[in-house]
Amino acid sequence: MKISVIIPVYNAGKYVSQAVESALQFREVSEILLIEDDSPDHSLKVCRVLAEKYERVKLYQHDDKKNHGAGASRNLGIRMASGDGIAFLDADDYFLPNRFDAEKELFKNPMVDGVYGALGVEYYSERVKEKYYGVFEDKLTTVYKKHSPENVFLGQLYLLGSFGLFSIDTLTVRREALMKKTDVLFKHHLHLHEDTEFLIRLSYYLKLYAGSIDEAVAVRGVHENNRITRVDTRMVDPAISRSLLWEEIYRWSRKEKSIPEKVRIHIKRMHRSFEIAKAPPVKKWRMIVTYLITDFTSIRSGLYNINFRNTLFDYRKYDGYP
């Protein structure tokens, strides 16, 4: 299998060379597509140097040369890719030497549409480690055990108990399956969690198999300017971004008629739980009382109230409270 590696690049001039070189080590990687997204730093210059230096590295920008976000950049990469398989890599992360070991075996089965694995973590400075270690520690981002492809969708929706999660950096998919079985790729209007939303939908349509889930196949680079770090450390209110994520998933679930009604109800409750979490105090308690009467489970169940119960008496961010 020839694999196209898609790397969206924004403000990553310090890191993108490492990402590219980590992908070049694999013979099965036929091309590396850098999608430069109008970075304010020197990323474009670095990308041009890489494309001139390595035959397998190809540089693209959006037609208008403007910034469109990671989702739109990945979509452009998918359209331009020529490989049988597609893998993704963030410009500030990198692959490990075992990145495609599981794929070599699993993709011998034509029923396998995609393979996912475990993601490690590296702190790019001691200052960053001190600041963010409490968020990521040294843990793997991974699925805790191997599941059948049919259960990957349910697991990502928190319907299988302790499931874990996997990163876009560890996913490899057959390009043909991706293009034939999904109508929409990355939703570029989502500025955060667009990869999570994509992985949830993807696991509904494609048969995704666990590869290396006990040993990292790629590494997340943690630095001061990670987008998602701002959410994980609560610099950005996670309730707001996750409410938007689950609203998008619920909107999709209503259009996808084959999704069981009980799953759709669960998705609606997840969205509601983050709506409660982000609401101001009076509205928050009004919502809780209303849903205690109309949908008791959505308030009483720990599956949902874990998302808002820590906000019930935290009024500090609202005007009028010290």
Q: Going residue by residue through the chain (322 aa), what tens digit of pLDDT does each one get?
A: 999 999 999 999 999 999 999 999 999 999 999 999 999 999 999 999 999 999 999 999 999 999 999 999 999 999 999 999 999 999 999 999 999 999 999 999 999 999 999 999 999 999 989 888 888 889 999 999 999 999 999 999 999 999 999 999 999 999 999 999 998 999 988 888 999 999 999 999 999 999 999 999 999 999 977 765 555 555 668 899 999 999 999 999 999 999 999 999 999 999 999 999 999 999 999 999 999 999 999 999 999 999 999 999 865 554 433 3
If we measure between CA atoms, which residue out of 189, 92, 200 comes closest to residue 152? Answer: 200
CA atoms within 13 A on the CB side of 142: 21
Joined tokens for residue 158: 């928190």
Token pair for residue 124? 């790019």
Report the side by side order of strands in the sheet with 208-210.
57-61, 29-36, 3-9, 85-88, 172-174, 114-116, 208-210
Whole-number percent of the chain with pLDDT over 70: 94
Region of residue 10 (left: phi > 0; alpha: psi -120 to 50; beta: else): beta
pLDDT in tens, 191-205: 889 999 999 999 999
The domain segmentation of the chain, as residue ranges, is 3-232, 238-311
Query: 151 exposed, middle or buried (CB, 10 Å; 0-12, 13-18, 19+)?
Result: middle
* E-assigned strand segments in the chain: 3-9, 29-36, 57-61, 85-88, 94-95, 114-116, 118-123, 172-174, 208-210, 216-222
- Quick one: which of 114, 110, 116 has its CA closest to 173? 114
Superfamily of domain 3-232: Spore Coat Polysaccharide Biosynthesis Protein SpsA; Chain A (3.90.550.10)
Distance CA 21, CA 18 (A): 5
